[in-house]
Amino acid sequence: MVGSIVACALGLQDAAASPPPPERFLGTAESVGVTADVGVWVPRLTGTAQVGAGGTQFDLNTELAVGDDTAGVAGEFAVLSGRWRFGGLGFAVSESGTDSAPAGGTFGGVSIAAGDTISGSYSAWMAGAEVAYTLWRPLADEPWPWDAAGTNRAEATSILGSNGRPLFDVQLLVLGGALAFHYEQDLTNDTAGGTGTFDRTIAAPYAGAGLDLRIGVDGRVPLVQDLRVYAMAGAGPSIPDAEIVWMVRVGFAAMIEPNIGVEFGYRLFDFDLSDGPSQVDAGIRGIFGAVSISF
């Protein structure tokens, strides 16, 4: 009996002395993960449009009957492996309306007089692929890519909660990708007749940076497992227009369960489009709400 007690004590001592499994160290042997955020985007179209030879420069927000907020869909997903993230993102929005023209001019060969009844619409979609790399993770076991395992092990161990999830984890990322973007706008003069159209599709490579902060509640707040705050931005040249396209994604997510939560944020997609004499310099921007999934 005494021998059994001693053996048990020695076993407990060895277990206490043994390091936790490597997957508990941030940045070392972490399992492959998947995240997805899919939801509703409520943006507003702003900027200017000048369509057709001799066209008038109109304010998109006030003069072409498309100035209201509209509901669209947006989302993104990523597969996480070590310091790498591979994924995709996109959105689709459209808006239409009828108004009394506040100013006269010409849109795509259609003449408009102040006071005419006009009907306007636009639609836009974007689809892209993105790769991100964690350049700096200060509280992980390997803060920099060139650090050897174990250089920051004490710090990485100290911020893990009882559920094995980090209580605080900040990551600085560099990112790059490529996207396709399509934009179409129509304007009809309901009073005098005639419809003008602008239709353009572009591609764009882009590069940027991001900050991703995870805060583990570790059971101290009812209905909340983890919190996430993030900000991502990228910019690049459009093809074939050689103009700059840039976008911003910021958000806050609260994980209600370990694998599902709710997210609120802001999305901005800014673009310049050229087609002969036509020029659209615009941005689509607004709040974003989504379901956030993580495995």
Those residues of the chain that have pLDDT short of 70 are 1-23
What SS3 class is residue 7? helix
Contact 271, 245 (CB under 8 A): yes
What does the block give as tokens for 278?
A: 């036509």
Q: How far apart are CA 61 and CA 281, in angstroms?
A: 12
CA distance 37 to 74: 8
pLDDT of residue 21: 67
Give the three-state DSSP class for 32: coil
Cβ count near 23 (within 10 Å): 11
pLDDT digits (tens, 9 = 90+) for 88-118: 999 999 999 999 999 999 999 999 999 999 9
Gap between the Cα atoms of 90 and 106, Å rounded: 33
Q: What is the pLDDT of residue 4?
A: 46
CA–CA dist 211, 32 (Å, integer): 20
pLDDT reported for residue 5: 42
Domains and CATH numbers, the chain: 24-294 (2.40.128)
Question: According to the model, what pLDDT value does residue 28 have?
Answer: 76
In order of 109, 181, 237, 242, the CA distances from 277 in angstroms are 12, 20, 20, 15
pLDDT of residue 45: 96
Q: Burial-class residue 5 by CB neighbours within 10 Å (0-12, 13-18, 19+).
A: exposed
- Residue in 53, 48, 97 with CA at minimum distance from that of residue 196: 53
Sorted by sequence, the CB contacts under 8 Å of residue 282 that are 6+ apart come out as: 45, 46, 47, 48, 49, 60, 183, 270, 271, 272, 273
